[in-house]
Amino acid sequence: MPIKQTILVVDDVPENLKLISAVLQDAGYTTMIAPDGQSALELANTHHFDMIMLDIMMPGMSGLETCRHLKVDPQTASIPVIFLTAGDAKELLSKAYRVGAVDYIKKPFFKEELLARVGLHLQLQDYKQNLEGKVAQSIKEMEQTQVHLMYMLGGVAEGHSIETHLHVKRVAEFTYLLAKLYGMEESEARMLKDASSLHDLGKLGISDKILHKEDRLDTRELKEMRKHAHLGAKMLGNTALPLLRMASIVCKQHHEKYDGSGYPEKRSGEQIHLYARIVSIADVFDALLFPRSYKRAWDIDEVVAYLRNNRGSHFDPQLIDLVLEHLDDFLLICKRERLMLSNQAQKKMGIFALFKRLIVAK
C-alpha cells in the first residue's frame, strides 16, 4: 500500500480547519491542524509534512511571515506551501509568491479545485524529489566510473602485468590507512586513496624499454625515468576537479625526499605536500615487499630496517612512526593482496591446464 501523504492545515478559524481537513481526509490524505503560525512552525519542526496549506490573514504571526520562517529553515524549506486567502489583491498575492508559496486557493473554495491544486503540487514535488534522486545517482555513477578509469589508467602506466596493476591497488590501500592514522577526514582520505592510483601516470611518457629493463638503469636511462614526475603533473594539467588536482600534486612530488635530495624540485620537509609524503611511503613500502622483474621481495625485517634507516632522510619521520606503530594493519593488507594474487595465478594455471587437455584430446 502506498504511504499516505500528510498535509498540515493552518487557519485561525476552527470551521475552516474542520472543513478543509474533512475534504482532504475523504480524498485519502492524512491531516494535522494548527490554529496559528507559531503552532504551525512548531509542528513543522517535529513532524514530516508533504504540504502545508496556510491561511494568509491570521492574528499574531501572519501566513506570509510563517511561510518566510519555513523557507529559511533547511528542515522545512522544501515543503510546498499553498496559501488560503479570502482576498485577491495583486499586491498580496505577489508577496505570497515572493515568500515561497507555490500556489494559492481563494476562499470560499470548490472542493474539486482544492483537491486538483493539492494533487498537482504533490505530484510536482514527487517528480522533483525523484529527479533529484536520479541526478544524485547519476553523479555517483559518474564519479565511480571516473575512479575506475583512474585505477585502470594507473595500472597501464605502471606496466602490463597483474603484479603491477595490483601494486596500484595496494598503494591506494596503504595510502588510505596511513592518511586515516594521520587523522585525515574520511572524505579527504578516500579522495587521496583514489588520487594515489595515478602517482606514476607520467610513466606513460617513458619508453617500455626503460620501464621493463631487468637490469639497473644507467645514468641516461635514470635521467629519462625521472621525467615521469613532471610528465604526470603535466598530463593532468590545471584541472578544476579536486580529485585530479590532488593526483597532480602526488604525481609531481611523490619522489621528493624529506631531506631535499629527491626529485624533480628537491623540496624538503613540509615543502613536500602531505599527500605526496603519504603516497611516497605507501609506494616504497609496497615496492619493497612485493617482487618485481628486477628484484626479489624483501622480508618484513628488511623493510622495517629500511624505513627506520630512512626516517627523516627519505621519509617524513612522523608518518614512518605511524607505519611502524601500526605495522600489523599494513601487513594485513599485504596478506589479503598476496592471497588475491595467488588466486589469480592459480586461475591462470587452471585455464592453461584446460587448454593443454583440449590440445591433447585433439
Residue tagged active-site, from 193, 203, 252, 257? 203
- Closest to 29 (Cα-Cα) out of 4, 8, 2: 4
Catalytic site residue 106? no
In the chain, where the domains are located: 6-109, 138-361
Question: Block means of pLDDT (10 residues each) for the chain, length 362 residues?
Answer: 79 92 93 94 94 91 93 92 83 86 87 90 84 70 61 56 70 96 96 91 84 83 91 82 89 96 95 97 93 81 96 97 96 76 49 43 43
Domain 6-109 grouped into CATH 3.40.50.2300: yes
Write down the pLDDT at residue 273: 97
Same fold, 6-109 and 138-361: no
- DSSP string across 285-327: HHHHHS-BTTBPPPPHHHHHHHHHHTBTTTB-HHHHHHHHHTH
The distance in angstroms from the start CA to the end CA of the chain is: 62
Write down the pLDDT at residue 154: 59
Q: Is 197 exposed, middle or buried (0-12, 13-18, 19+ CB in 10 A)?
A: buried
- DSSP string across 133-190: HHHHHHHHHHHHHHHHHHHHHHHHHH-SSHHHHHHHHHHHHHHHHHHHHHT--HHHHH
- Is the Cβ–Cβ distance between 161 and 292 less than 8 Å? no
CATH fold of 138-361, please? Hypothetical protein af1432 (1.10.3210)
**DSSP label of 215:** S
pLDDT digits (tens, 9 = 90+) for 99-134: 999 998 888 888 898 999 899 998 888 888 777 777
Write down the pLDDT at residue 186: 95
Whether this model's pTM surpasses 0.85:
no
Query: 162 to each of 5, 193, 304, 348, 350, how far by Cα in Å?
Result: 54, 20, 26, 11, 16
